[in-house]
Amino acid sequence: MIRKLLKDIARMIQADNFNPGHSDIQVTGVSIDTRKITEGNLFVPFKGEKADGHEFVEAAIKSGASAALWQKDVPNPPENLPLIIVEDTLAALQKLAKSYRDELNLKVIGITGSNGKTTTKDITANLLALKYKVHKTGGNYNNHIGLPLTILELEEDTEVAVLEMGMSKRGEIEFLSKLARPDAVIITNIGESHLLDLGSREAIAEAKLEIIKGLKENGLIIYHGDEPLLQNQLISYSGGQRIKTFGKGRENDCFPIKIEQGTSGSVFMINGSNQLFKLPVLGAHNIMNAMAGMLVARDFGISFEEMNEGFASLKLTNMRMEMVEGAKGEKIINDAYNASPTSVKAAIDLVANLPGYSKKILVLGDMLELGPLEEEFHYQIGADLDAAKIDYVFTFGELAEFIAKGAQTSLSENRVRSFSDKKSLISELKKQTDKGTLVLVKASRGMRLEEAVHSLQK
């Protein structure tokens, strides 16, 4: 993590408003949360709508922080504390991260896309760690606050940083890309997330392509070549960067020639290699994410023969196609971290085609931020279900009621239940599960459907 004297921090953010008597105070790391302060941290307070972090500056320093930033328009900064006064604390945090990144001699991989960013990040980092000292985005620290914090966590001898870049509106990914200055970028796909904010998949594609804005000369662009919205934009791209594609189509630079799915992951083969790869992650869609990471790894000098070692030690971030066992021996796919029509369909396809189960149950919640067509998107999820491969559908939430209505076009009414109360959902679900049951739990983060998973495990 960043280790600097306070006078160096002031120089990096171009601030000269601080007590010179504190110049030689050592700063080690940065925190924005007083509950997570460690010795020597620089505390960065933010002014929020409901709370003002400046109220906790003194507490942060008592907890071990060595110094803090203070926003100029906030009155009464505590006297005699090691403070740097800045125009805007968020802008100062971002400037500090950019300055620190510019000092480091490392390679950066930037990853964006509507779905699969975190899984692709985890896979890519694991493959690159076969040869390099790698640091990756923790959790979902992928926005205008999280990415700067991730950069400031980097040790000076880090060789590769794998950074996830998220967004909610236009311009955000461009900002993150220019801050991180990646050597290679991955665009996983274009889905329906953020339709509420951006209005169309075309606009989403344009926003994701902003990741190229900060890409270094002769950098590498890797994208899902089966996606026309990306293909149309990049087919005639005339920048100084190289381009590689992955996807199911054989016109891609990397495509699968064999896929076998099991209950603990997939085995697959790709063009250009005789190696049989074993990916301990559920879902054929995650083979697409793996191929994106494999293209980066090959560009960084890692052979196909080495990659199974990277796959074998892979640990995904929680609640991403995570297979767990319930109290009755039922198997549960916990994919409750997020949901969009694209990712829900992929998860349902996996469940529908996994062999060895006597009963299959879908527990689906609201998919959020889909814009004016949200009801239609939900209805279509249900309408597309194969009644011969799915036994029960339980939905939770107002929008998910439309999934239930769609499902009733092919499944009998007693096989589809819609709930507005989570306890009732869990109670009914427990009645239906046994040792031969496979349950998929998937919804947008705000629905907190992982509570159903935890209840089945008790």
What does the alpha-carbon distance between residue 26 and residue 166 come to, in Å, rounded to a whole number?
32
Q: Which parts of the chain have pLDDT scores under 70?
A: none
Q: Quick one: pLDDT at residue 315?
A: 83
Structure confidence by residue, pLDDT tens digits, 48-90: 888 899 999 999 999 999 999 999 999 999 988 999 999 999 9
End-to-end CA distance of the chain: 39
Residue 448 near residue 397 (C-beta atoms within 8 A): no
Residue 262: its pLDDT value, please? 84
- How far apart, in whole angstroms, are the C-alpha atoms of residue 7 and residue 108? 27
Q: Which of 365, 366, 363 is nearest to 394 (CA)?
A: 363
Query: What is the three-state SS of the chain?
Result: CCEEEHHHHHHHCCCCCECHHHCCCEEECEECCHHHCCCCCEECCCECCCCEHHHHHHHHHHCCCCEEEEECCCCCCCCCCCEEEECCHHHHHHHHHHHHHHHCCCEEEEEECCCCHHHHHHHHHHHHCCCCCEEECCCCCCCCCHHHHHHHCCCCCCCEEEEECCCCCCCHHHHHHHHHCCCEEEECCCCCCCHHHHCCHHHHHHHHHHHHHHCCCCCEEEEECCCHHHHHHHCCCCCCCEEEEECCCCCCCECEEEEEEECCEEEEEECCCCCCEEECCCCCHHHHHHHHHHHHHHHCCCCHHHHHHHHHCCCCCCCCCEEEECCCCCEEEEECCCCCHHHHHHHHHHHHHCCCCCEEEEEEECCCCCHHHHHHHHHHHHHCCCCCCCCEEEEECCCHHHHHHHHCCCCCHHHEEEECCHHHHHHHHHHHCCCCEEEEEECCHHHCCHHHHHHHCC
CB count in 10 Å sphere of residue 329: 11
Residue 313 phi, psi (nearest 5): -95, 10
Q: Provide the greatest CA pair distance for the chain.
A: 76
Instruction: Give the CA angle between residues 17, 178, 369 to the nearest 5°.
Output: 105
Q: Token digits for 345?
A: 């369909």
Instruction: Look up the pTM and report it.
Output: 0.88
pLDDT of residue 191: 82
Asked if 83 and 19 touch (Cβ cutoff 8 Å), the reply is yes
Backbone angles phi and psi of 439, in degrees to 5: -120, 130
Q: What is the pLDDT of residues 203-213, one digit of tens each?
A: 898 999 999 99
State the Cα–Cα distance between residues 182 and 107, nearest whole angstrom: 7
What the chain holds in terms of domains, given with CATH numbers, is 3-89 (3.40.1390.10), 104-312 (3.40.1190.10), 322-456 (3.90.190.20)
Structure confidence at residue 108 (pLDDT)? 98
